[in-house]
Amino acid sequence: MSRFSGIIPPVVTPLVKIDQLDVDAVDRIVEHLIDGGVNGLFVLGTTGEGPSLTYQIRYEMVERACEAAAGRVPVLVGVTDTSLVESIHLAEHAARSGASAIVAAAPYYFATNQTGVLNWFRQLATASPLPLMLYNMPGCVEIHLDLETVAKLSEHPNIVGVKDSSGDLDYFRLLCQKFADDDDFAVFMGPEELIPEAVAAGADGGVCGGGNLLPHVYVNLFNAAKNGNAGEISRLRTVVDAVFRHIYRDPAGQMNLIPALKLALQHCGLCSRCIAPPLPEVAADHERQVLDGLQAVLQLAESPLTTLPIT
């Protein structure tokens, strides 16, 4: 299997209502992402609200995304769960649907330790018919994957990489240094604002939530960083900063990324703003901010998208 690389956005899960997938919107979003030059799709991740979705929607999202991608780019499937057996079942379904790999964060709710997650990931990797990419997401699962734990897990023949969303650049640089000479283990950056620093450290790619709206921006930012094009990096950072300022952060500066991103996607005609509980709805003042700034963000990004009339 080829080593994963490039920009692989965490795809939003478009919903008609909290227990119904918008299958037509899945097709639109996948086409938008592939047209934007992405190197893969990551479904049922954090931006995809994976752990909040019914199992039926998770399975349907995997099927539809794989159908829509039609082998043009690899599809990676998030199987994070509190149940190891459910993670294995979803991995098996992903394989039947044509996915290329699974991604999993550590199980949550019950406290565990490095030995516990080491054993959990090994069992998942052994049982999975697809390769496994580790997902370090301490902000959501309350445990940080130690460098030693990742190193031990990398020895498993079915574990092929790690996505780090800790935001700790020193830790990320150590990951890149550790696996610099390992052709079978990829290191991906989660926080999209850190893509240039990640590439400088030796990252193989990034998983950028903003890619749902502006895929070409993050693809071009990654490529500019790979090519050492400082001017282009600076220009594209301005776009990413605008996404944070106008969309992700509310007027008080607090992040409400997923609901605000879906709101922006709705006003570009890609999907509805419907989110699964317990994520909070976008407040009225934040909604006004998004709607006031969205067209400017699209123009700054030179995006083919346009905003729909507000009714």
CATH value at residue 31: 3.20.20.70
For residue 134, being part of any structural domain is answered with: yes
> Among 232, 195, 228, 230, which Cα is nearest to 210's?
195
What are the tens digits of pLDDT across the range 184-240? 999 999 999 999 999 999 999 999 999 999 999 999 999 999 999 999 999 999 999
Q: Contact at 8 Å (CB) between 260 and 286? A: yes
For residue 276, being part of any structural domain is answered with: yes
The length of the chain is 311
Task: Look up 135 and say whether it is catalytic.
Answer: yes
169 alpha carbon, distance to own chain's centre: 18
What are the tens digits of pLDDT across the range 39-68? 999 999 999 999 999 999 999 999 999 999
24 alpha carbon, distance to own chain's centre: 20
For residue 233, being part of any structural domain is answered with: yes
- The model's pTM is 0.96
For residue 306, being part of any structural domain is answered with: no
Task: Look up 248 and say whether it is catalytic.
Answer: no
Catalytic residue among 55, 108, 135, 262: 135
Catalytic residue among 59, 163, 178, 248: 163
Over residues 108-120, the mean pLDDT reads 97
Q: Contact at 8 Å (CB) between 192 and 208? A: yes
114 alpha carbon, distance to own chain's centre: 24
For residue 101, being part of any structural domain is answered with: yes
Q: How many domains does the chain have?
A: 1
| Angle, vertex CA 213, rays to CA 269 and CA 141, nearest 5 | 120
For residue 252, being part of any structural domain is answered with: yes
For residue 307, being part of any structural domain is answered with: no
Among all chains, which residue has been given the structure tokens 């199980």?
Answer: 107
Query: Which residue segment(s) compose the domain that 112 sits in?
Result: 6-301
Record the tokens describing residue 226, joined without a space: 């790979």
For residue 309, being part of any structural domain is answered with: no
Q: Please state, for a pLDDT cut of 70, what percent of the chain lies above it.
A: 99
